[in-house]
Structures are given as C-alpha cells and as structure tokens.
Amino acid sequence: MAAVLSTVEALSLETAAARADTHNRSGRKGFFTDTTLCIGCKACEVACKQWNQLPDDGFLFTGMSYDNTVALGASTWRHVAFIERPIALSTQDAGAFSWLFSSDVCKHCARAGCLESCPTGAIIRTEFDSVYVQPDICNGCGYCVVNCPFGVIDRREDDGRAWKCTLCYDRLKDQMEPACAKACPTDSIKFGDLEELREIARTRVERLHENGLEEAYLYGADAAKQPGTEGLNAFFLLVDKPEAYNLPPDPVVPTKTVKETWASLAFAAVGLAAAAIGSVFVASRG
Amino acid sequence: MAISTDGRDIDTNLAELSGEGAAQKIERPDRHLQKIAPAPWERVPQVTPAETTYYERPLLKQSVWSADIPLYYFVGGAAGAALTLGAAMQLAARGRRRRELRALSAHCHWIGIIGSTAGAAFLIHDLGRPSRFLNMMRVFRPTSPMNMGAWILAGAAPTAIATGLLVNRRGLPGKLGEATGYASGVFGAALAGYTGVLVSNSVIPVWQPSRRWMPVLFIASAASSAASILDLFYENRTARRVTGVFGTASRLMEIAASRRVEHLASTVPQVGAPFRSGAPGVLWKAAGVLTATSVALSLLKRHRLAGVLGAAGSLALRFAVHSLGNASARDPRASFAQQRA
C-alpha cells in the first residue's frame, strides 16, 4: 500500500512539475529575428552545424532561389529561407521584384506542443525558458513530430531520436550567446532577455513604419499576437504574409484542446460498455 | 589523419566530439537525403503571390511512424473491445446460458491477451530506441495521449493475462480472476479508443476538425473488429447471437462516425482534399464498402464471410487514417487554409 501511495505521490509531483515546466519561469531568453536585416549569408546555419557538431544533410541543388537547405530538421537547426517575389517593397524605388531572407529556427513556444505531448518527459523547459530535448531520455516515439505546428522537430531514422534547436543550452550555461546569434554579421538574429527583445522589436517596427515600410509586423511576439502558442520565445519581424516564409498564419498547439477529446473518449467508452452489456443480455435472453 | 566521414568532417585528433548534436548517429545519410530532397523541378521554382506557399514545400513534418502503428491501432483496438465484451459476459453469465457465456468470455479474454501483447510488440518495434520503452512510465501526463496510452496498455495487458490464468479457478484465485476480468474490461474500453485521441490531437490538418468524433470512430472500429474475430473463430450459437447485435451495431456506428469525420474535415475544402484523391482516399472508401458489405452478410447469417470483410474493413480504416494524415501533412495549403478559415 505504501508503495502504491508513494507511486501516486511521485506521479502527481511529476504532473505538477510538467505543468510548472510551462507556467513558472524566470530569466526568459529568446531570439528576435529581424528579417529586414538578413542578407542570406547562412553564417547562422554554418555556425550552428559547427558548434553543435551536426552532420551535413547531403548536398542538394533545389532550384529554390539560394535555398539548398530546404527545411529545418533533425540535423538542421537553422534554415535560411529565400523568397523571390515579383512585387516591390513599399520603400523600393524601381522594379517589381524583391528578395526576402529569413533565418528560421525552433520557436521555443511558451506553450510547446512537443513538450506537452512528449510521453517520456524527455522534452523539458530549461531555466532559460527554452525547450530542450534530452537525448539520453528520448525513446524516439515520434509523437512530438506530429505535435509541432511549425514542422520543426524531427526524428532522424538512423539515430532513432528526436532532435531540434537547443537554444545552445551548453553555451547559455557558460554565459555565451547561441552560436547563430554570435555569427550573424548584421545582427538580424538578436539574442537576449525576452522582455528587452520585445521592446527592441516594437521600436524597430515603429521605425520601419516611419521610414515607409508599412508592411513590417511582428510574428508571434506575445500571447496576444499568437494565442494558439501563447507567444514564441523566438519571434520574427516579417514583411510578407507568414505563408511566404512557410510559417503558419495562426498556429494552435494541439494540447490546448486535449480535454474535450478525452471527454469525447469517455462518452464513447461508456457507449461501448452499454453496447457490450446490451448485446450480451439480448443474446442470453432467447 | 582521422577525419570523420559521417558528414561532420571533424578531425578527431584535433577536436573532441562533445557538442549538443555530436551524439547524433549517422548510418544512412543517403536515406536521410531522400527524405528531405524535393522532387525534381520541371520549371524554375517560384513563389507566386496569388496562392502563397514556400515553393510547395510542406509546412509540417509527416509522421515518422511505420506500418506498425496502424497495425497497433487495429490489434490494440480489437483487444480492448474484446476485453470489454468479455467483462460484459462475466456480468451476464447467469441462468440457462451461464456455461456458454463463461466459455465465450474466456475466449474474449484470450483475444485481449493476444491483441494487447502483440500491440505492445508493434509499439515497441516502432520506437526509434526500443530499449527505452519503459521511459514511457517516467511521467504521468494527461496532455500526452501517447503517455496515457502507455499507462492504459500497462493496465489492460496484465489484467487480461491475470484473468486468462485465474478465472474459473476455485477459491481466492478465481475471485481475483473475476475482479481482474472486470478491471480489464474498463482498461479495454480506454485501450479501444485512446488512439483516436492520439491521432486527432495532433497538428495534422485533416484530423483536427474531428477531435470529438475520432475517439467514437476508433471505438466503433475496435468493436467491429472484435466482433469480426468472434465471427471468424467461434461458431457456437451464443457467439453468433452476441455478434449479431454487437457486431452490427458497431459496424453501423463505424460507418456513421466515418461519414461524420469526413464531413467535418471537408468543411474547409483544401483540408478534406486527401479524401477525394489518391491512394489514401481509395483506402478510406474501400473501408466503408467492406464494412457495409459485412453488415449485409451478417444480416444474411453469412457470419464467417461477414467476419472476414468486417476485419478487413477495420484494418483498411486504420491504414486509411494513417495515410490520409500523412498526405494532409505534406500539403502546406491545408494548414494555411484551415488557419485562415
């Protein structure tokens, strides 16, 4: 009995801890990626691969502008998107053409679908408020892969575990900024305290609007802007629809609706029991 | 020279492999490349402002699950529904048909034992790191249907096995077997349906709108497959009478719930697109036809054939759910349209 009780206690502690993972946090760190400053040099991609000692993904020629990286994945934690548009930016003098660059990364959502759906507790919220996959715990069930509304986390077949950006957890612990932000030559990738970054971002948008770039806006900067994820710790300044950058316009973390689905399972299970008992009694009558 | 040839190009004489991603194992880089490589292009890829996507590349990642998972939906579901049916028979086993119902109940428990252990094997086999299966028991997390499922399976399989070994014995073991039989019935109902919660609480556009109906569909399909197995293997009169009612009801419910799921997904046309085209759509329609034919055959008392078609219908439905989801994840417009709607 004591064993059962202590197990129950341990489980409730775990549940509370899982909830606290998401709700109690201090020292929130994140990225502000200002895509208007990005020059598409891919130094962030290289710095990430080098620091984290990630393998290459093979060498492709995709024809998609200068993007031969294609997408974020298990061994690609920064990805620069190249968007060639037959439209001019509003500040442009000539030519119906503009070229947009954006360095994409794990968003470290305030409510993270991967974390909340992880059945092993391998995915945790760190002291820096980042979302981190513990490679020594992950058993490669693959459920996080279908719970990320941004298509970030992936399982590499030959490794068997899920991987994604760690916000350079090892560097943060030594008071260094993440490798991508360090390497960014234009400071398009800014790393810092989330509150400060938000302030910088707001000022930047105002400034751009003053200069005539009216299409500039913040993507996922806080819970008000993106209620489905309750805000992103890595947010963006964009100048086109999110879809142009392969970002979802209104992402919702699926765990937000899990209660109603459990309720419907309960109804269905009662229905199954009723059908079973009913049909057995009908059969035993005659 | 000891430069690593695993895609890192690190001279291990000079550098130490200790980065965050250093432990990532690389065995088949070519297969990984196939996964990310876009299809060869016929015209220069362009972003067109009219219907914006990023070079038609998927927004989401499709599931990494193999055929193990739809097979698990099927055997785990059948086992769960059989356990619930077995418990119902324990409850009803009185009077004239006591003996027959007790025997049939024991058969149901054996279907449960075989199904839940086979299901566990499929699940473990599909893991990227099968040896770490028990890590599922590190936490108890209701936001993760995958985690709850591990607990449900850990309740259903042992209670089913205990029932199979103990029930119909004399004295305390017999009573214990009776109790575990009822417990396995409760776990069984959860086992039959939690996979519906697991599928529909994901970011896959085609399954999200039917969050409330997917558990119903999965439970109905599980009940239908349990009835089909009884139809196939047990020929006595009581079994026929039970499956006549239980099987028909669950197959009709399976058809009704699948119509509902399809209708809800098709509210946004782009989201429902996989139902109307390609192999997954054909599989989904085939599942409906097989199940409907099985209802008709069951009413004509062709029980064995009804069992074959009923089981095939459920199996096709589970594979259809899996492949429709993957098709939907590959289509960036589905997510965009759903979120803009």
What is the DSSP annotation of A183-202?
H-TT--EEEEEHHHHHHHHH
**Residue with more model confidence, A7 or B82:** B82
What distance in Å separates residue B150's CA from the closest CA in chain A? 8
Please give the structure tokens belonging to residue A28: 């929130």
Contacts of B254 (CB under 8 A, 6+ apart): B217, B220, B221, B223, B224, B291, B313, B314, B317
pLDDT 10s digits, A234-253? 999 999 999 999 999 999 99
Which residue does chain B place closest to A255, by CA atoms?
B143
Chain B residues with CB inside 8 Å of A159's CB?
A: 24-26, 128
Q: Residue A22: what pLDDT?
A: 55
Contact (CB<8Å) B31/A254: no
Q: Which chain B residue is nearest to residue A142, measuring alpha carbons? A: B64
**CATH for A17-252, among 2.40.160.40, 3.30.1330.60, 3.30.70.20, 3.40.50.2300?**
3.30.70.20
Quick one: how far is CA A151 from the chain centroid? 8
- Would you state the pLDDT for residue B33? 80
Greater confidence (A109 vs A24) lies with A109
Question: What pLDDT does residue B43 have?
Answer: 78
The alpha carbon of residue B260 is apart from the nearest alpha carbon of chain A, in Å, by: 14
**Is the pLDDT reported for residue A53 higher than 90?**
yes
Residue A166 has pLDDT above 80, yes or no: yes
CA distance A255 to chain B (A): 6
- Optimal mutation site among B24, B85, B99, B134, interface A, most CBs of chain A within 10 A: B24
pLDDT of A17: 62
Is there a contact between A53 and B36 if contact means CB atoms under 8 Å apart?
A: no
Closest-CA residue in chain B for A281? B92
B21, B202, B339: residue with CB nearest A248: B339
Nearest-CA residue of chain B relative to A151?
B60
- Cross-chain CB nearest to A154 (options B61, B143, B223): B61
Q: State mean pLDDT over A216-225.
A: 95
Provide the total of helices (H) and of strands (E) in chain B, helices listed first. 11, 0
For an interface test with B, give the residue of A280, A281, A285 to mutate (most B CBs within 10 A): A280
Interface probe, candidates A243, A255, A285, chain B, greatest B C-beta count within 10 A: A243
Pairing of strands A162-163, A154-155: antiparallel
Q: Where are the domains of chain B?
A: 68-340
Contact B203 A284 (CB under 8 A): no
Please answer yes or no on whether B336 and A249 come within 8 Å at the CB atom: yes
Predicted local distance difference test score (pLDDT) of residue A16: 65
Residue A285's pLDDT band, with cuts at 50, 70 and 90, is confident
Q: For each of chain B's 341 residues, which pLDDT tens digit applies?
A: 456 667 888 888 888 888 889 888 888 777 778 788 877 777 777 776 667 899 989 999 999 999 999 999 999 999 999 999 999 999 998 878 888 899 999 999 999 999 999 999 999 999 999 999 999 999 999 999 999 999 999 999 999 999 999 998 999 999 999 999 999 999 999 999 999 999 999 999 999 999 999 999 999 999 999 999 999 988 788 888 888 899 999 999 999 999 999 999 999 999 999 999 899 999 999 999 999 999 999 999 899 999 999 999 999 999 999 999 999 999 999 999 999 98
The predicted structure's pLDDT at residue A19: 57
ipTM entry: 0.93
**pLDDT for the residue A189:** 98
Q: Map tokens 């943060």 to a residue.
A: A172
User: Among B180, B155, B145, which Cα is nearest to B73's?
Assistant: B145
- Position A23 scores a pLDDT of 53
Q: Do A257 and B211 make contact, defined as CB atoms within 8 angstroms?
A: yes
Confidence at residue B5, expressed as pLDDT on a 0 to 100 scale: 65
What is the least distance, in Å, from the CA of B184 to any CA of chain A? 12
Residues in chain B within 8 Å Cβ distance of A284: 92-97, 101, 238
> Predicted confidence band at A186 (pLDDT cuts at 50, 70, 90)?
very high
Would the CA dihedral through A248, A254, A255, A260 be positive or negative? positive
Chain B partners within 8 Å of A51 (Cβ)? 19-20
Asked if A73's CB is within 8 angstroms of B133's CB, the reply is no
Nearest CA in chain B to A167: B20
Nearest Cα neighbor of A119 from A18, A4, A252, A229 is A18
Q: What is the pLDDT of residue B288?
A: 97
Q: Give me the architecture of the B68-340 domain, per CATH.
A: Up-down Bundle (1.20)
What amino acid occupies position B86? G
Residues of A whose CB is below 8 A from B70 = none
Residues in a beta bridge with B216? none
Q: Report the share of chain A in percent with pLDDT over 70.
A: 91
Q: What is the DSSP string of B238-299?
A: HHHHHHHHHHHHHHHHHHHHHHHHHHHHTTSHHHHHHHHSHHHHHHHHHHHHHHHHHHHHHH
Has residue A20 got a pLDDT over 80? no
State the count of interchain CB pairs (< 8 A) between A and B. Answer: 375
Choose the closest CB to A248 out of B20, B189, B335.
B335
The pLDDT score that the predictor gives to residue A14 is 62
- What is the pLDDT at residue B234? 83
